[in-house]
Every structure is written in structure tokens, then in C-alpha cells.
Structure 1
Amino acid sequence: MSNLKGILFIILFHDISALPGNSFLKIREIVESQREEDAVFEQKKLYGSSQIVEEVLLPQPIDHFDALNSEMYNQKVYINTENWIKPSGPIFLFIGGEGALSNRSAYSGHHVEMAKRYGAMVVAAEHRFYGSSINDNGLHLDQLEHLSSQQGLADLTRVHKYITDRYELTSNKWISFGGSYPGALSAWFRLKYPHLVYGAVASSAPVQAQTNFEGYNEVVAQSLTDSTVGGSQQCIKQIVEAFQRIDSMIQANQTVQLEKDFLSCGPLSEKNDQMVFVNNLAGIFAGVVQYNNEVPGLNIQHLCKQMTKSDDSYKNLQMVYKMAMKLLNQSCVDNSYSNFLSQFNNQTVDQAASGVGIRQWTWQTCSQFGYYQTCDEGTSCPFSRLLTLESNLVICRDIYKISPSSVPNFVEFTNEYYGANRPKGTRVLFVNGSIDPWHFLSVLKSDVSLNETAVFINGTAHCADMASDRSTDPQSLKDARLVGPFLNCLFIIFILYVYFCRLQTHKTSLLLFITFLQI
């Protein structure tokens, strides 16, 4: 275990994965726990024991676009006015993604640091149908039809109106800032409601929907070879060899040996259980790459050190998996497909639940985004070839009654509606890290004519730029956060300039900043 463990502004922030295995979700739970711990420490450092966040339940229409539907739900909104300079200070609105939102979103993170510096109000709004922002019948299929990015953006307009009316705002600037799926929402909010939001920052934002997301595991493979984060060619070679052997054993019906070697809670004789098994194995690597260094020691360097410990790649993978199980507090791994499906079938709302809303998010992937991470022949994916598109799409059919053949049409509509990775919004900043698999679906090239600026940071993972400074940050991110001494302009210039300075060197920041402010 020691090798693995030693192994807004409008802010919309959460981390996404399509149909993740249990191992990936458990790694995410550890990351969320670490974030919560860091946030509590940050709150005490900034505010002591004071209760600075107010919670409001804002009534929202279930369907913004149907005048005959009068059904409502309550959206949870947090408000922090501790640092707000009345009446003209800016508004930083933090909006959650595909999971429950805690009050730490209103008192922790880089947006809160800037709110303190520039006299901003922080408002955090939970995404519809996640956390406690859902009715008791909200997981029924007829209700999930109202869970979409379009409805979520419409919710933002009413949050904007509520804050504007309550605090009698006039010309206050609103800037959207999001990470992951909410990063896409941030860009889209500026695109669709430019009269409400002055500018947008979209971190790790997969604005291009894609049914067969082969690029995810290709970036995972590239990241595991990146020497700047501790990867190597030998590491990826060992991973590929280990998974090839597992696929061979499955084809040879040697599943009893796999059950023993990888401590499966149940048999692996059925094809669907085998799919869950290899998904869980791959999830260890995907989770470590996506959240590289979010938890001290949980990183590519330690993972690759273990995978290259001997010449026996299969034995190395066994050791990695067993150490991961110990870290995740598991005595065996549940690879049952029926148990896997149960989380999607559960229609009981728990408004006190934390973490990802699996049934809701998977509905969104089936009805809008795809994002299915596959391991097809002819790609550089290092994992099992059992991770197919078909094994993902069957969930859409069996759980939501969506035909697999319809999913690409829904994905195509999403791209037509928002513009895919060419959204053509103005004053939008796209920030991505080189080892983050989600950068594959984001905007990576600047468009000066539209004031769409892309920043690419080497050696950084998913949404790394959004967090407060940490001692474990890679040097490239530390260098990117350098701020020049000439920040002496109006508050809105301050905000935009500081963000650019976090991402680029002093000279480059100024050039990007001037470009970004052009209308």
C-alpha cells in the first residue's frame, strides 16, 4: 500500500466519466474526501469558525420551455457575501455538475481567493436533479426527460435574476467559470446568454459531444508514458502486456484463475461480468491519471513504479490491484453485472446523498453527450478490448429505453446546438492540462477573431487550474500562476488579468489578456 499511497465569476465544477466502474468511482470518492478536507482547512484559515455561507432554496420550473407545465422543484443555492463590496462588486456564481454540491463551493477554491481579493459575492448553485435539488419523483423516467444542459442553463438565468433582484444589482459583471461538464456549461452560458454573462472560463471542458470517445484512453496511454509526470515507455508496455494476457485468459475460459488472482467477489464466467471486471481494472489507471496528485501519493509516478517493478507484467498488475483494493478498503471486488445495473435502476431519491448521481448522469450521456470510453482495435488504448461501445450503449436501451442507434443522433444534435469544439462564443477562455483525458474534446486552439483563447498547461490533470495553490502542484502550474506587479486597473480587468497570469508567463499573459478584452 505504501507504494500506491506514498501512491463565477460563475463556477461550474465537477468531474465526469461515462459509465465508470466501481474502482474509478471509489478513487473519485477519495478525491472528493480530500477536497472536502482541504476546503475545511481553507475555511478556518480564511474565516475562522464564522458561518459565512447562507443556503437558499430557489423554486425553479421543471420545464422552462413548456408554458403548460406548472411543476416546480427547489434548487439549492449557496451565497457568500463576506467579501462583497456593495453595490458594484462582481458576482462569482459557482454551479455544480453531475453530483451533490456542498457549501464548500462557496468558501473554498481559487474563485474564493479572487473573491476576497476583488470584493466579489460568491453564489453556488447545485445542478438540477442532483444532490437535494430534485423532487421525490425526480428519478422516474418521465421526470428525467427534463434533465438536460438546456434546462440547466435556463436555471442559471433565474439564479441570475434572483440575485440581481435581491441585491438590487445594476451593472455588476458576471463571469462564468467551470470545470469538466460544468466547464462546457460555462462556455455555453456565455454562448447562449451573452447579455447575462460578461465572459467565461471553461476548464477541462468537453464541449464536443462524442458517442465513441476513443480519445479518452488514448490520452491515458500518452500520460502513462510522459516522463514529466513519472510515466515511461516501459510502464505502458507492461500495462499493455498485462491486459493482453487477461484478454487471452478470458478467451481461454481461464476465469477461475482470474477470480483468484484479482480477488473477485463472484464468478467471472458470464460475458457481462467479465466486462465489469476489465472495466474495474482499467478504472484504477484512468482514475489515477485523471486525478493525478489530487491525493498525495496517488499519482502516475507511483503507479508506474509498481508496474515496472519486475519483468512479469501480470504479477505487477496483480500487485497494483491488490494495493488499490487496500487503499479503497475492499476485501474483494464486486464484478457482478446485475449489481452494476442496480445503481442505474435505483429510483429512490436520497436528498442527503453525496457524490455522483449515477442514474441521472448516465441518462445525460445517453440523451445528449455519449462520452463512452472504449478500447477499440487500432487505437493506442492499453486496456482490454472488451471495453466496447456496444457494452456501453446497452445501458441506454435496458435502463432508459433509448435505442442504441438513437444515441449518435442525440450527440449530433448537441454538437449542432452548441457548436462542438468550435462553439464560436466571444470572450471565452478554455484551459486544459496535457495529461487530462478530457482535453481531447475541448477547444485547444485560440480563435483571435472570436476572442476564444485556449491555454494548454503541460503536466497538469483534470481541472488542476481551478484549485487553490498546493505544494504538490507541478512546476508548470506554479510557473503559470505567476502574477505581474502591474495589476492596477478596474476590478474586471483585475479579475481577467489575474486568471491569465495564473496560466501563462508574465509576457504571454499580457498578450493573451489584451486579445481577450478585444470586442
Structure 2
Amino acid sequence: MKRMPLLFTVVIATLCSSLCEGIIGSHFWKIRQLVDERRANALMQSLPGKPGSISELFITQPLDHFDRLSQEAGKTFQQRLFVNDQFYEAQKGPVFLYIQGEGALSPNAAKAGFPAELAKSLGALIVAAEHRFYGASINDDGLKLDSLRHLSSQQALADLAEVHTFISQKFNLSRDHPWVCFGGSYSGALSAWFRIKYPHLVIGALASSAPVRALENFEGYNDVVAASLESSIVGGNEECMTQIQQAFIQIDALLKLGNHTLLEGYFKSCEPVTDPLDRLTFVSNLASIVQGVVQYNNEIPGLDIDGICGIMAVSSDPLRNLAALNTEFMKIMNMSCVNNTYAESVRMVANTTVDRKAQGPGIRQWIWQTCTQFGYYQTCDDNTNCPFSRLIDLPSQTKLCSDFFNITPQDIAKFVSFTNDYYGGDRPHGNKIIFSNGSIDPWHKLGVLTDLSDTEKAVFIVGTAHCNDLGSSNSKDPQQLTAARKKIATIITGWLKEAQQNQINSL
């Protein structure tokens, strides 16, 4: 019998989809956008593609995979893919499919990063898939409330199954050929869930910085922020965290006394913060500077934990130091004043105009997903270690859910419970899954940190932040990050060799 060449298909989320902070603090979205831009620029400098190596494709997907006989039957949307054949060795190479998360997909995602380095060594074809209802993968009415009901992780996983079929047909692959999935952040959770829910399509998964446990009141996020600010390995110290905590205690006291004028001047607010919701936005914006810097530590020059702690040590007045940090943030973001109005949050969530050319995260869509599936609200409710304002509580973080989607806190709790029942929370029942997390990343609190079995492995990387293992290798990378990437690559290569041997044995 003539032996057929074996092709492995690997589902990869090269870059982190970068989960966003609570729904009020818009500064986090600014940091997220800047990080996305810097990552894209870094990718352009890494493993440059040959002319014509990356192509854009669209695949027709059902709007509802699970009820095709309903009134929605026949309704579809176009899902965007980017394909990179620069490294592809057709006779023996694997296929890497990048799973995008809660934002627009860039062609650079199919071009570089740790998965692309792996693709280069294995002769892999890279396919990047945009998430439904983000970027260009959305219909004109996709942001309207009635359409958003089709935006869920379950539908997104079903989309990936269709991508599997599409790629298999386009490249002459049998459905029996093994796949491995990779993802980071939300798409890291999707990667693990794809392996769990579609084990006949994928033989393994990498879930980097993946919050696989849904949680409504995510106080643990700020626990890790506080611990990271105290961590000497990244330039933090106990006094730094105490200074930030004391600054917010002063802010809460001044707001309670109605002394908002001093705060408006210190922190260069564009408008007064007399309204309770504007005050909430004000403290959330300040908190999100620190949260964003910790989550993306060392990704923005001038904004890292070491830099924050240096600013917070300039004087003995914590409030003045926090104001100086705010000024530095404004300088980097090219802001003359800060919009602390709740109306700005309303504007971002209320916008139903689709712009398929827009880059960055989809704010309205992601808030819908947190309201209907995940929670993830970073609060200071009962957390004495929280370094931020006690105004940032659960009711404040869920307000937009009720205001715009008519989803109550009771609804959110039920939805979160269902998500954990459906996927298994942080004790998923699967095999051949790698859960990688960094100790500085606040999202590791919702991930898998220790081995669950011989085939469900945890890789915990001390001193690294959100999805650092998915980035391109750099000579300045800490030793523990380099070692983690090597371990992950070894495990994945072992899966592929095992699958290849099984295929040979079946002939």
C-alpha cells in the first residue's frame, strides 16, 4: 500500500486576546489598545513574511449553529481568516490555526510570535481565525441587542469546527488528521474548551493565561495586582503597594466629604466629578492605570511595575504621587485632560454602528459576553488587601449589564454558574492540555496552576505577565520564560510525534 503523507493541523492563538478590566475604567481600554499596537509593530519586525505569503479569506458561517430550523435558518455571517504559507511544507508540515479573541484580527497574527517560530521549525501552515462579531466578522446589524444573542463561546467553538472542515477541504486534509489548539487569554480558554468539547477534531491544546473558571465577583484579580506591586522580582516593594492603597483611601475620604475640586485639579479631570457615577468612573480610571500596567508589565516603555513604584516613592504624599502617575499616563497617551464622565462608558457600550475596518477590542461585544457568560468583574467589595477605591464594587461593575442589556445581577450569577457547569471551571475533564500562566498576571487566579493529570499540565512562570509565553523570543527574555517556551514546545512536539506514530500504526 502506498503511504500517504501525514499532515497535522494545529489550532494556535499566537497572541493574547488580552481580557479587559471592569466596565467603567476606560483607561484600561486605552492601555489595551496601546499594547495591541506595540505587539503588532513587534510582530512586523519578527519573522518577516515573503511577498504574497499571507492571504485574506472569508468563510460563510451559520448565525446559529444549534438551531438551523428556526426563523434564523439561512442567516449567515462572513468569518475572516488569514493564511500564511511562508513556512508550509505541503508533504509533511502541520497547520497552525490562530484563534482570535475579543478584538479585530490582524494579518500579523498569522506571521510571528512563539507559534510562528514553532511553525517555522515544523514547516507549518498558519491559519488565523477571527472571532464572530469582532473585527470584520460581523453583519451590519451585529451590534444590535437582538443579534448579540448569537455571540457566545459555544457558537465560537462551533465556528472553529467549520474552519476545520474548510481548511481540510482546501488543503486536501482528512478529518482523521490530528489537530492541536493554542490560544491566549479568552482565546486560551477557547483553546482548552475546543479540545474538551471537540476531542474528535483536536488532539491537544495550549491555553495561555486562560481564565477557564468564570466568576462574577473577581476580587482575586486585585489580590494579584497587590502582590505584584510588592514583588521584588519585577521591581515592586511593600511600600509601593501601601502608597497606592493610601492614596485611594485619601481619595475616598475626599469624595465622601464632597471635596471633589481638589481631586479634579490634581488629576486633571476634564469635567467635574460631582455625580456619583462620574466619581465611580474617576476612581475606576485611576485604578485601571495600575491594573493595566501590572497585567501588561514591561510591554509599555515608561509604564511598568518598577516605574510605578519609582513614581510612588517620589514624595511622602501618596496622593501627589498617584497624581504624578496619572500625569505620566496622560503624557504617554497624549491626553490634555481625563474624561471621567460615566457618559463616556455609556457611549462606548451604546454604540451599535459596525465598523469592519476598526482595530482593537470590541467593547460592546465583550461587555455582552461578560454579562451573559463570564462575569470577571474586578471589585474591592470585601477585600481588605485591595489597593483601590471601595467605590469599585459589584453593583457598579454590573450596572451596564442592566442598563443596556436588561440583564440583572441574578441573571449574571446564573449565566456564570452555567458556564462553569458546561466547561468544568478550573477542573476541566480533558487530556493533552497545557495551561500556562505568569505569576504577575492577575488572570492566573482563574486558571489551572498545578497539573491535573499526567496529560493536563500546568506551566507556571514566575515573574511574567499576561500571555508572555506567546510572544516572540527575545535575547532579553528572562530565563524562566525561555525555559517555559522550551517545555511547551517539547510537549507539543511529543503530541505530534505520538499522533504520527499512531497514524503509521493504523496503515
What is the TM-score normalised by the length of structure 1?
Answer: 0.90
2:289 to 284, 308, 321: 284
User: Match for 1:155 among 151, 155, 159?
Assistant: 159
Identity of aligned residues (%): 49
Paired residues of 2:24 and 2:281 also in contact (CA < 8 A):
no
Match of 2:74 in 1: 70
Give, in angstroms, the shift of residue 433 of structure 1: 0.3
Matched, 1:14 2:17: yes
Q: Which residue number in structure 2 is paired with residue 258 of structure 1?
A: 263
Mapping for residues 238-317 of structure 1, pairs under 5 Å? 238-317=243-322
Q: CA deviation at 1:29?
A: 1.6
Alignment partner of 1:335 is 2:340? yes
CA contact (8 A) 1:9 1:111 kept: no
CA contact (8 A) 1:218 1:379 kept: no
Quick one: distance in 2 between partners of 1:218 and 1:321?
Answer: 22
**2-structure distance, mates of 1:386, 1:40:** 41
2:197 maps to: 192
Gaps of 5+ in 1: 1-7, 497-519
2:130 maps to 1:129 = no
Q: 1:241 to 1:221 in 2, by over 3 A?
A: same
Q: Secondary structure at the match of 2:398?
A: helix
Among 222, 232, 238, which residue is 1:233 paired with? 238
Kindly state the Cα deviation for residue 102 of structure 1 after the two structures are TM-superposed.
0.6
Post-superposition Cα deviations, 1:93-130, rounded to whole Å, max 9, x if no partner, equal 00110000010111111111111110111000000000
Aligned to 2:38: 34
User: Who is 2:505 aligned against?
Assistant: none
Deviation at 1:483, TM superposition (A): 7.3
TM-superposed deviation, 1:485? 13
How far does the alpha carbon of each residue in 1:225-267 deviate from its partner, in whole angstroms, 9 at most, with x for none? 0000000001011111101000000000001111111000101
For residue 424 of structure 1, report the CA deviation from its aligned partner: 1.1
Distance 1:158 1:249, change over 3 A: same
What is the CA distance between 1:9 and its match in structure 2?
2.7
Question: Is 1:20–1:283's contact at 8 Å kept on the other side of the alignment?
Answer: no
2:212 aligned residue: 207
Counterpart secondary structure, 1:195: coil
Q: C-alpha separation between the residues in 2 aligned to 1:263 and 1:484?
A: 46
| Matching residue's letter, 2:181 | S
Conserved? CA contact 2:24–2:345, under 8 Å: no
Q: Report the CA distance between 1:472 and its aligned residue.
A: 4.1
Answer yes or no: is the 8 Å Cα contact 1:118–1:495 preserved in 2: no
1:172 has 2:173 as partner: no
**Structure 2 vs 1, CA of residues 242 and 486 (structure 1 numbering), >3 Å: closer, same or farther?**
closer
Bigger mean CA deviation after superposition, 473-482 or 258-267: 473-482
Alpha-carbon spacing, 1:95–1:154, altered in 2? closer, same or farther (3 Å): same
Give the deviation of 1:311 after TM superposition.
1.2
> CA RMSD of the aligned region, Å?
2.0
Q: Which among 141, 153, 156 is matched to residue 145 of structure 2? A: 141
Name the CA distance, whole Å, in 2 between partners of 1:383 and 1:490.
Answer: 45
Moved more, 178-187 or 79-88: 79-88
Residues 485 and 233 of structure 1: is their aligned pair in 2 closer, same or farther, counting only changes over 3 Å? closer
- Alpha-carbon deviations, 1:400-422, whole Å to 9, x = none? 11122211000000000000000
How far apart, in 2, do the equivalents of 1:225 and 1:335 lie?
A: 28
Deviation at 1:490, TM superposition (A): 7.5
- 2:470 corresponding residue in structure 1: 466
Structure 1 distance, partners of 2:280, 2:494, is 56
Query: Is the 8 Å Cα contact of residues 247 and 319 (structure 2) preserved in structure 1?
Result: yes
State how far apart, in whole Å, the 2-side matches of 1:387 and 1:484 are.
Answer: 38
Amino acid in the other structure paired with 1:225: E
Once residues 495 and 248 of structure 1 are traced to their aligned partners in structure 2, the CA distance between those partners, rounded to angstroms, is 62
Structure 1 runs of 4+ off > 2 angstroms?
A: 170-173, 295-298, 470-476, 478-487, 493-496
Q: Distance in 2 between matches of 1:280 and 1:67?
A: 43
SS at match of 2:409: coil
Q: 1:483 to 1:412 in 2, by over 3 A?
A: closer
Question: What is the aligned counterpart of 2:369 among 340, 351, 364?
Answer: 364
The 3 A distance-change label for structure 1 pair 189 and 357 is same
CA contact (8 A) 1:83 1:116 kept: yes
Q: Report the Cα distance in structure 2 between the residues aligned to 1:97 and 1:375, rounded to whole angstroms.
A: 27
Amino acid at match of 2:262: Q
**SS in structure 2 opposite 1:99?**
coil
Q: Quote the Cα distance in structure 2 between the aligned partners of 1:206 and 1:491.
A: 24
Tell me if structure 2 keeps the 8 A contact 1:144–1:360.
Answer: yes
Q: C-alpha distance in 2, partners of 1:372/1:67?
A: 34
Contact 1:89 1:172 in 2 (8 A): no
Contact 1:79–1:106 under 8 Å retained in 2: yes
Asked if the contact 2:135/2:362 (under 8 Å) is kept, the reply is yes
- Residue 393 (structure 1) aligned with residue 372 (structure 2): no
- Give the Cα–Cα distance (whole angstroms) in 2 for the partners of residues 88 and 33 of structure 1: 34
Name the CA shift for 1:339/1:413 in 2 (closer, same or farther; >3 Å).
same
Q: CA deviation at 1:448?
A: 2.0
CA distance in 2, matches of 1:245, 1:472: 39
Q: Counterparts of 2:342 and 2:485 in 1: how far apart (Å)?
A: 45
1:430-480 residue CA offsets vs partner (Å, 9 max, x unmatched): 00000100000001111225x211111100000000001124433321344
Equivalent residue, structure 2, for 1:512? none
Q: Could you tell me whether the CA contact under 8 Å between 2:178 and 2:499 is conserved in 1? A: no
* SS of 1:405 mapped into structure 2: helix
Q: Is the 8 A contact 1:183 1:205 kept in 2?
A: yes
Contact map agreement 2:213 2:446 (CA 8 A) in 1: yes
Partners in 2 of 1:394 and 1:486 — Cα distance? 46
Is the alpha carbon distance of 1:304 and 1:340 closer, same or farther for their aligned partners in structure 2, counting shifts above 3 Å?
A: same
CA gap of 1:20–1:183, structure 2 versus 1, over 3 A, is farther
2:67 partner letter? D
User: In 2, distance between residues paired with 1:136 and 1:189?
Assistant: 28
Work out the CA distance in 2 between the residues paired with 1:199 and 1:339. 42
- Deviation per residue, 1:206-232 (Å, 9 max, x gap): 000000000001100000000000000
